[in-house]
Chain A
Amino acid sequence: MAEVRVLLDPGDDMQVSVGLLERHDPARGQVVVHPTPGARSLQAFAHDVLAALGRAVNRLDAEQLAGTAAAWRAVTAWMVTGQTGELVVLRADRLTASVWARVLELGREAGTRLLLVCHAPQIPAQLAAVLACAGHQVLTGPPQVLDSRSAYPHPWPWPDAAAGAEGDAEDLPRFLYPHIRNYRRKAWISWAPPGSPGPMPSTGTPARLPATG
């Protein structure tokens, strides 16, 4: 039985989503699914997983993956082949109970750990019912995911604000858009903790428009 964890993110915090998306690395068995807004069917979610696994989703008909059963078979095959160690599902609270049930089944079939992220104070009742028969652990914030590093050797450590900017930069994965990497790093550094004053306004001299008239 693959392990199932549910992460509660009641504030729908940018740092949670961005931090998890940063750890997306199918080649190292870490897959993060970012479901398509407004598409709630089993079929649509299977396509979301295929996209997360790095499969092209612009030729679904040609590749005969448009149907629900075919898409899920492909998902299972790719996850087993790719040795996906952990499947993270963002926006899980917006999915249907049918999708959750199928994801649990997928975890069992592929031997993959699951992390279902609910951007809500608690697991929605209809989804909690799906979990009733499955052993699961509820996490209440990123620190607990951090703590779990000892249990799971995640490919990429969580950004640690206390480590400073340079340390973060070294820890972040390399990808093709360095300006976006810098932005993410900036987001981690510049966002103040809850309850603290917001970011300071720029201190430069305002560039005044000419007051014509």
Chain B
Amino acid sequence: MSAWSGIDERDDHYLGLAGANVVATEALLMLRDNLADVLAAKAMMCVHGDAGLGKTLSVNASLSALAPADVCRVQFRARPTPRDIRHVLFDALAISGTPPTRPIEFDALLKDALSERFRVLVCDEAQWLSRECFELWRHLWDDRRTDIAIVFVGGGDCYRVLRREPMLSSRVYVWQEFRRLDRDQVLAVIPAYHPVWAAADPADIAYADVRAGHGNFRAWAKITAHVVTALARLGRDRPDREILQWVFSRLGGSGG
């Protein structure tokens, strides 16, 4: 579990890929509009979709533009308990002193902190949360003193997990699913994603997407990292089929 209040945009890119840009995909633009509405309503939102489609990066990029000073992000990599969430929020909100032992005292402290000014709480990997954990988020949000919006981000079965909780179904203002880029989107977005693709033949980009990219940003980040290496070693300035074959061989495909 981790909590952090400030980020380096490069950290958001898979593999910390140098030179990678945040590109204005349709999903990102829609997310920005949706987040603006959610923040204005101080509501809840759920961003869901398969791994590697850019959910977290898009949320971070959008909130960096919309509410840079108000974001408090927490992430859970195992199944947390309400106690875990309380402690992570305690750290993320930079509350001084020793965390209380009784839940009621702890929640009173968190509510005090969350009523000082508006904050956007971003809960990543929300598919790991139990009903008790959702109860805690709901409890904080329902409290009439707290001044918060909550954004749940999750992959896998996040949508199913959150939808089966009536408490969230009635409170989530916007649900947004991230999907794989289709071929036209790939051809429009990838040249802007990283300089190595700027002058690439669109047919080669389409070829790479069929073989390994599959409209998934995380897969494209891997491909791009290997292409950068190959171009440097061979002294070339743009990828071609030969380089792509070499990349695919490193990715476990049949290109070799």
Contacts of B138 in A (CB 8 A): 37
Q: Is the CB of A37 within 8 A of B61?
A: no
Cα separation A15 to B167 with both chains bound (whole Å)? 11
Given the known A-B contacts A21-B142, A199-B37, A207-B32, are A12 and B166 also in contact in the complex, defined by CB atoms under 8 Å?
Answer: yes
Q: Is the CB of B194 within 8 A of A213?
A: yes
Contacts of A213 in B (CB 8 A): 21, 23, 191-195, 197-198
Chain B residue nearest to A184 (CB atoms) is B144
Chain B residue nearest to A46 (CB atoms) is B104
Q: Is A202 an interface residue (CB 8 A)?
A: yes
Q: Is the CB of B170 within 8 A of A180?
A: no
Contacts of A18 in B (CB 8 A): 142, 144
Chain B 50-75 interface 0/1 with A at a Cβ cutoff of 8 Å (1 = within): 00000000000100010000000000
Q: Is the CB of A179 within 8 A of B24?
A: no
Contacting residues of chain A (129-177) with chain B, CB-CB under 8 angstroms: 175, 177
Q: Is B147 an interface residue (CB 8 A)?
A: yes
Chain B residue nearest to A209 (CB atoms) is B24
Q: Is the CB of B41 within 8 A of A186?
A: yes
Chain A 56-94 interface 0/1 with B at a Cβ cutoff of 8 Å (1 = within): 011010000000000000000000000000000001001
Chain B residue nearest to A205 (CB atoms) is B33
Cα separation A190 to B43 with both chains bound (whole Å)? 11
Cα separation A209 to B27 with both chains bound (whole Å)? 12
Given the known A-B contacts A34-B139, A183-B42, A213-B23, are A119 and B104 also in contact in the complex, defined by CB atoms under 8 Å?
Answer: no
Given the known A-B contacts A44-B103, A57-B105, A211-B24, are A206 and B132 also in contact in the complex, defined by CB atoms under 8 Å?
Answer: no
Chain B 107-119 interface 0/1 with A at a Cβ cutoff of 8 Å (1 = within): 1110000010010
Contacting residues of chain A (87-122) with chain B, CB-CB under 8 angstroms: 91, 94, 119
Q: Is the CB of B104 within 8 A of A57?
A: yes
Q: Is the CB of A17 within 8 A of B142?
A: yes
Q: Is the CB of B23 within 8 A of A211?
A: yes
Partner pick for A57 among B108, B118, B174, CB 8 A cutoff:
B108
Q: Is the CB of A13 within 8 A of B142?
A: no
Q: Is the CB of A38 within 8 A of B23?
A: no
Contacts of A208 in B (CB 8 A): 24, 29
Cα separation A114 to B42 with both chains bound (whole Å)? 31
Chain B residue nearest to A44 (CB atoms) is B104
B175 CB, nearest partner CB in chain A, Å: 9
Q: Which of B41, B136, B193, B195 counts the most chain A CB atoms within 10 A?
A: B41
Cα separation A201 to B33 with both chains bound (whole Å)? 8
Q: Is the CB of A36 within 8 A of B103?
A: yes
Q: Is A196 an interface residue (CB 8 A)?
A: no
Interface footprint category on B: 35 or more
Given the known A-B contacts A38-B103, A211-B23, are A119 and B145 also in contact in the complex, defined by CB atoms under 8 Å?
Answer: no
Contacts of B144 in A (CB 8 A): 18, 21-22, 24, 175, 177, 180, 184
Contacts of A180 in B (CB 8 A): 42, 144-147
Contacts of A44 in B (CB 8 A): 102-104
Q: Is B256 an interface residue (CB 8 A)?
A: no
A42 CB, nearest partner CB in chain B, Å: 13
Q: Is A39 an interface residue (CB 8 A)?
A: yes
Contacts of A10 in B (CB 8 A): 166
Cα separation A187 to B145 with both chains bound (whole Å)? 15
Q: Is the CB of B145 within 8 A of A209?
A: no
Chain B residue nearest to A190 (CB atoms) is B41
Q: Is the CB of A37 within 8 A of B142?
A: no
Chain A residue nearest to B44 (CB atoms) is A14
Q: Is B250 an interface residue (CB 8 A)?
A: no
Q: Is the CB of A36 within 8 A of B41?
A: no
Q: List 27 A-B contacts (CB under 8 A).
A: A11-B169, A11-B170, A12-B170, A13-B170, A14-B171, A22-B144, A36-B104, A37-B82, A38-B83, A38-B132, A39-B102, A60-B102, A119-B166, A177-B144, A177-B145, A179-B118, A180-B145, A180-B147, A199-B37, A209-B23, A209-B61, A211-B23, A211-B24, A211-B192, A212-B21, A213-B193, A213-B198
Add 7 more A-B contacts to A17-B142, A175-B144, A213-B198 (CB < 8 A): A22-B144, A36-B104, A44-B104, A58-B108, A180-B144, A180-B147, A213-B197
Q: Which 4 pairs from chain A and chain B are nearest by CB?
A: A213-B192, A12-B166, A37-B135, A38-B82
